[in-house]
């Protein structure tokens, strides 16, 4: 059986490679990890060539034009365009070449910016518009959820959308302009320590966020793809909630940096103040699953970043 993983050299793809490499009993499944250098997923001709050549039985679609808050603010049009094209091309060709089952990665950006209640559930994805700061990316992922649902209903497919909250871990993008919050903070604290300078946090620190370690999400992808047979097709992966200021202080402590040297730049946007989601469906499916505690996950991420500083994405 062949499983194709798009975005296979990104953070989650790399974690999947490690997990699969350490799991010898999974030898019956042949995994092919693709990067943007293999196929341009915005090009329908290349995507058809992918399916015609590789003949996958399963698809794990991780590839995306993705970034943190400030990239979302700068590149709304490009992020919407690229992601809609990639997602629709993959879905169209997966269906055409009879791929029955697949995992499609969404984002907590799909959720409404003013929901009717918290925590938000899978059923609230289209309740109202996403937050303006990430509407390009958020709407592109909403369109993929809708199309997965349509293919499932019209063609009897099993295309499942997983909605992770903020992912972090080894192999992440630590670029100071385009990264998500945890890798960005880790890199900034590293620079402040190296240069003996004050640390400036963007925004007020009041927004609340949930985080999931990339290895946990990778494990859940494999479990749900190969084990899950339920009818729910959109499943949230989540963890405990923490404010950005508490997160910043935690990373400061784990980076051995003096928290008294932290200042706030209130000219920078906070983005969405809250995106709290409900993980009870996942807990019902896998009641024994334990997420990696945030402190342990960040410790491992800091260690990986420092050990791979010269070759990581930064």
Q: Active-site residue numbers?
A: 137
Residues β-bridged to residue 164: 237
Q: Which residues contact 216 (CB under 8 A, 6 or more apart)?
A: 237, 291, 292
For 55-99, the three-class secondary structure string (H helix, E strand, C coil) is CCCEEEECCCCCCCHHHHHHCHHHHHHHHHHHHHHHHHHHHHCCC
In the 8-state DSSP scheme, what is residue 310?
Answer: T
Per DSSP, the chain holds a count of helices (H) and strands (E) of: 10, 11
Q: Are 113 and 131 in contact (CB under 8 A)?
A: yes
Q: Which residues contact 301 (CB under 8 A, 6 or more apart)?
A: 168, 169, 170, 172, 182, 183, 186
Place of tokens 């499932």: 152
Q: How far apart are the first and last CA of the chain?
A: 36
Place of tokens 């192999």: 171
Closest to 147 (Cα-Cα) out of 164, 126, 116, 130: 126
Tokens of 69: 């808050």
């Amino acid at each position: 059986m062949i499983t194709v993983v798009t975005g296979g050299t990104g953070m989650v793809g790399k974690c999947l490679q490690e997990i699969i490499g350490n799991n010898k009993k999974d030898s019956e499944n042949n995994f092919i990890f693709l990067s943007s250098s293999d196929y341009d997923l915005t090009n329908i001709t290349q995507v058809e060539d992918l399916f015609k050549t590789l003949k996958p039985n399963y698809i794990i679609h991780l590839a995306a034009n993705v970034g943190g808050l400030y990239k979302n603010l700068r590149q709304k049009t490009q992020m919407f365009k690229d992601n809609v094209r990639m997602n629709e091309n993959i879905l169209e060709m997966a269906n055409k070449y009879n791929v029955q089952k697949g995992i499609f990665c969404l984002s907590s950006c799909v959720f409404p910016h003013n929901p009717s209640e918290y925590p938000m559930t899978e059923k609230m994805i289209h309740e109202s518009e996403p937050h303006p700061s990430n509407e390009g990316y958020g709407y592109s992922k909403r369109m993929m959820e809708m199309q997965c649902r349509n293919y499932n209903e019209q063609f009897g497919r099993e295309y499942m959308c997983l909605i992770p909250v903020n992912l972090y871990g080894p192999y992440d993008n630590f670029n100071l302009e385009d990264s998500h919050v945890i890798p960005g903070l880790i890199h900034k604290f590293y620079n402040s320590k190296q240069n003996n300078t004050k640390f400036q946090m963007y925004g007020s620190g009041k927004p609340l966020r949930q985080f999931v370690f990339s290895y946990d999400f990778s494990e859940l992808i494999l479990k749900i793809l190969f084990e899950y047979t339920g009818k729910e097709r959109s499943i949230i992966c989540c963890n405990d909630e923490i404010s950005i200021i508490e997160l910043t202080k935690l990373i400061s402590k784990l980076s051995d940096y003096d928290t008294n040297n932290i200042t706030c730049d209130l000219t920078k946007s906070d983005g969405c103040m809250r995106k709290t989601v409900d993980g009870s469906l996942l807990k019902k499916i896998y009641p024994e699953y334990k997420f990696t505690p945030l402190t342990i996950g960040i410790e491992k991420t800091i260690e990986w970043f420092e050990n791979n500083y010269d070759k990581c994405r930064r």
